[in-house]
Amino acid sequence: MSTHTTTRAQTVSETLSSVIELLENDQNLKKQIRESIEPIDDLSRSAITELNKLHSAPFSQHKEICENSINIISKTQPLWIDVAKLIPESEFYRYQFASGPTMRNLTTSIVLARFILHDELTPSHTISNLLGLQTESTSVLQLSAEDYLQGVIGAVNELPRLSINAVTSQNFELPIKISSFINDIFASYSLLNLRNDALRRKFDSLKYDLKRCEDVVYDLTLRGLTKPRE
Amino acid sequence: MADVDILMPSDIAESSTSGSFNRKQHLMSTFEAYRSELDADNERREKLIIISRSITQLSKKLIFHLHRNATSLSTNLKEKCLKEGRLKEREIWINFKKIKDELNTIGSGTSEEAKQGFWRWNRQVSPGLEEYIEALSFLYYLENKSLIPLKVVQKSLSDEDGDPLVIVTPEDYILGMSDLTGELMRYATNALSTGDHQTPLEVCDFVRTVKAHFDGISPQMLYKLSKKQEETTRSLEKIEKVCYALRLRLIEFADKPEVLAMIAKRALEDAADKEERSRDE
């Protein structure tokens, strides 16, 4: 009995050891991918810091602030190539847990900056281009619809504050621009059939943003500040 | 204060009405495209969840089936049980084929797109997969008295050409083996009641080896396992108590097998009582 059992225990041991080794390889790769995204997150935070100035800087500087933040974000392009190198073909979604939040934050910053610059909602493919995701060396990466749609709402969440602060610094044009923008976005998102998930919860926050921005426009209208000066 | 710029909505009235009207039209058509994309994704997600659930159900049934007759002392009955088990296992396989078929409908149906989709919908598929691995490894243990290798699991989940229907990761495998120890605890206890004294000792050895290896895996690496390890430890303790009582009695009644069988049965009832009491607490 004893010899028989010993060999069986050995086989079991060998099988388990080899699987644990495979697990370690998998986990190491995950760790490497997470680490490769860290410098991108650093840049993303710098872009957000830059955009924060929108709330206090005179509106004559808005253009420069937004251009700066987009320039910072384009510096992530070579870093995305490093991330792409680590992800095996067709396994993007396996590691999306690591890249998704970063892509959403970058989308938020780009959408906010380009709204100020061009009064438009930046389309998903423009964001992919700015991040350098549409080259051959980054083809394994993608900005998923889900991440894009969540990122856009992130930008909208910034707008009520911006609207109020614009009034404080006597910029009476921006709140009207903002209100019309949020209105369009809210109408667009209303077209979607959302499940009870993160995107749905984000969408629910849109309503409050919309209301706060409309309240600002109301306050301005009441005081005759929405009409062009003679 | 007088120097501060004031920006009034100058010509905003005309430019923004026409401009934003265009923008709105444009956005609406973009979002209609997003709607169809999200709708298609949701539909696929629902389908995969349903298949995964039926895999879970069938796997549980397979495990119950194995428990019913696997401990039978009659070789005939036992073999019949295992053979039926294999048939049931192949029925589950058909559901994995359905998953693959569903993934093959993504995009233009290339194998890259299917693989991409597999990882995308992995969270929907994995609960069923885990349950299946548990059932399969239990069946394999009863057939071979040994641990199923990862390669064999993957082979069972491949099509006729050897292409994987779903991909089994080391993580799936390890979590499945962790669940297996719970089934083996039940198996060992059942074996005791039929007077099969060899099985509990073998199982004890086996579960000990598995637990020892899994204790070496850091919780950061596989958080879900650390919770399951607690369960494994409890299972092992139960098996060890059974073996302890068994060993003493084997020595005491070495020459009276009928007494052994009776005592074993009583020990089992005791164990069941205790389990119930600890659950009540």
Question: Tell me, what's the ipTM?
Answer: 0.87
Residues 149-188 of A with CB under 8 A from B: 149, 169-174, 176-177, 180-181, 184-185, 187-188
pTM, full prediction: 0.85
Of A8-17, A156-165, A216-225, the one with minimum mean pLDDT is A8-17
Is there a domain that residue A109 lies in? yes
- Per-residue HEC secondary structure of A89-148 comes to CCCHHHHHHHHHHHHHHHHHHHHHHHHHHHCCCCCHHHHHHHCCCCCHHHCCCCCCHHHH
Domain with A177, as residue range(s), is: 37-222
Cα A157 from Cα A199, distance rounded (Å)? 13
> Coil, strand or helix: which one is B158?
strand
> Coil, strand or helix: which one is B196?
coil
Which candidate from B7, B12, B170 shows the least CB-CB separation from A59?
B7
Is there a domain that residue A215 lies in? yes
- Check residue A186 and give its pLDDT: 95
- Check residue B218 and give its pLDDT: 85
Asked if B32's CB is within 8 angstroms of A58's CB, the reply is no
Is there a domain that residue A32 lies in? no
Is there a domain that residue A20 lies in? no
- Check residue A228 and give its pLDDT: 64
Asked if A23's CB is within 8 angstroms of B217's CB, the reply is yes
- For B34-59, what is each residue's pLDDT tens digit? 999 999 999 999 999 999 999 999 99
Lookup: tokens for B8: 């009034």
Residue closest to B202 by CA, chosen among A76, A6, A72: A6
Asked if B24's CB is within 8 angstroms of A91's CB, the reply is no
Is there a domain that residue A130 lies in? yes
Of A23-27, A71-75, B88-92, B260-264, the one with minimum mean pLDDT is B260-264
pLDDT at B145 over 70: yes
Instruction: Using only the alpha carbons of chain B, give its radius of gyration.
Output: 28
Per-residue pLDDT, averaged over B184-202, amounts to: 83
Question: Domains of chain B, with CATH numbers?
Answer: 44-156 (1.20.58.190), 178-281 (1.20.58)
List beta partners, residue B164.
B158
- Per-residue HEC secondary structure of B173-185 comes to HHHHHHHHHHHHH
- The answer to whether B59 and B128 have CB atoms below 8 angstroms apart is yes
pLDDT band of A187, cuts 50, 70, 90: very high
Is there a domain that residue A175 lies in? yes
Cα B184 from Cα B106, distance rounded (Å)? 40
Is there a domain that residue A131 lies in? yes
Q: Cα torsion for B140, B142, B144, B146, to the nearest 10°?
A: 80
Cα B237 from Cα B159, distance rounded (Å)? 40
Is there a domain that residue A13 lies in? no
Asked if A180's CB is within 8 angstroms of B20's CB, the reply is yes
Structurally, chain A folds into a number of domains equal to: 1
Q: How far from the centroid of its chain's Cα atoms is residue B21's Cα? A: 53
Cα B182 from Cα B172, distance rounded (Å)? 16
**Alpha-carbon torsion A24, A27, A29, A32, what sign?**
negative
* CATH number of the CATH domain containing A207: 1.20.58.200
Q: Which residues of B touch A187 (CB under 8 A)?
A: 24, 27-28
> Coil, strand or helix: which one is B160?
coil
Which candidate from A171, A188, A192 shows the least CB-CB separation from B7?
A171
DSSP string, B2-63: TTS--B---THHHHHHHHHHHHHHHHHHHHHHHHHHHHHHHHHHHHHHHHHHHHHHHHHHHH
Q: Which residues of B touch A120 (CB under 8 A)?
A: 23
